[in-house]
Amino acid sequence: MANVLVPIPATDFDPTEVAIPWRILTARRHTVTFATPNGKAGNADALMVTGRGLDLWGFIPGLRNLVLVGGVLRANADARAAYSALAASPEFREPQRWADVRSDSFDGVIFPGGHRARGMRAYLESPVVQQMALDFARDAKPIGAICHGVLVLARSRDPETGHSPLFGRKVTALTWAFERSAASLAGVTRFWDPHYYRTYREERGQAAGHMSVQAEVTRALQSPSDFKDVPADDPQFKRKSSGLVRDSVGDDTPAWVVRDGNLITARWPGDAHAFAAQFEDLIEQSEGHRP
């Protein structure tokens, strides 16, 4: 069985994008090893776990426990159960330090996402984490990235070529349509912190969406056409593109996942089951995975 590395920040990662791949991989008897900046167990974005703080009254003690909009935006029941089990697991409670990770000890890597700037920026901007991406890409090992996690790959530049591991590949990531929609909603329901969903925001003079995940990932590609979103003629276009329907163990029709060789990318927590299942298939097919 394979040993898969999952680097995460100390806090604010998305619970679905970490817990669902862990559950699927371990259920199929693979080992998952976590890594954090300090070697201590990480903590997911609490708003995505509980939904508290995502409604208009979310800043009021007591009332914030009444979850309406937050119940839709947070991780669903399946993901919350997976995260609860993950948080109690020994592999999650005893991670490695980022600095101690050696890619040759692993058969593949998954870069999960999350959007809350407070914790995610340290992860997305870490030269150590970016070097992990370069090491796994150099060895052509299976690489998975979902949502903001694709930014790690976009920012990991080979010192010889100046290109990222995404250059020349077909990929997807959090789309500007999804990011803009969530940010617009939060601007109303979380009015005291309206930029919660925008990890990076445009500066004066930059066009709307210039600092979105999709735009930055696209700038790292060989061609803008290499960024793949759901085509309009897809039979499940509405379910895949609404941002309201998430996939599940028994239904991957709402998901959109792009595979190109040893690289698998996905857009958001609603793709997590299909993303993890396809990554597991890639691990199984890889000649380098351990018996």
Domains in the chain, CATH or no CATH each: 3-285 (3.40.50.880)
- Report d(CA 271, CA 278) in Å as an integer: 11
The pLDDT of residue 286 is 86
Stretch (H or E) spanning 138: helix 127-138
Residue entry with tokens 């995502």: 54
CA atoms within 13 A on the CB side of 290: 12
Residue 7 bridge partners (DSSP): 35
Radius of gyration of the chain (CA): 18
**How many residues appear in the chain?**
291
Residue entry with tokens 């870490």: 126
Backbone angles phi, psi at 167, to 5 degrees: -65, 125
Instruction: List the one residue out of 159, 21, 155 whose CA is nearest residue 92.
Output: 21
The pLDDT of residue 45 is 98
Mean pLDDT by 10 residues, the chain (291 residues): 97 98 97 98 98 94 92 96 98 98 97 97 98 97 98 97 98 98 94 95 96 98 98 97 96 98 98 98 77 44
Two tokens, residue 123: 């992860």
**Beta-strand pair 257-260/108-111:** unpaired
**Beta-strand pair 43-44/96-97:** unpaired
Instruction: List the one residue out of 64, 1, 86 whose CA is nearest residue 193.
Output: 64
The pLDDT of residue 287 is 58
Backbone angles phi, psi at 6, to 5 degrees: -130, 95
The interaxial angle of helices 272-285 and 15-27, nearest 10 deg, is: 40
pTM, entire model: 0.97
> Which conformational region is residue 261 in: left (phi greater than 0), alpha (psi within -120 to 50 degrees), or beta?
left
- DSSP letter for 95, please: P
CA dist list (Å): 150 to 111, 114, 131, 196: 7, 11, 14, 19
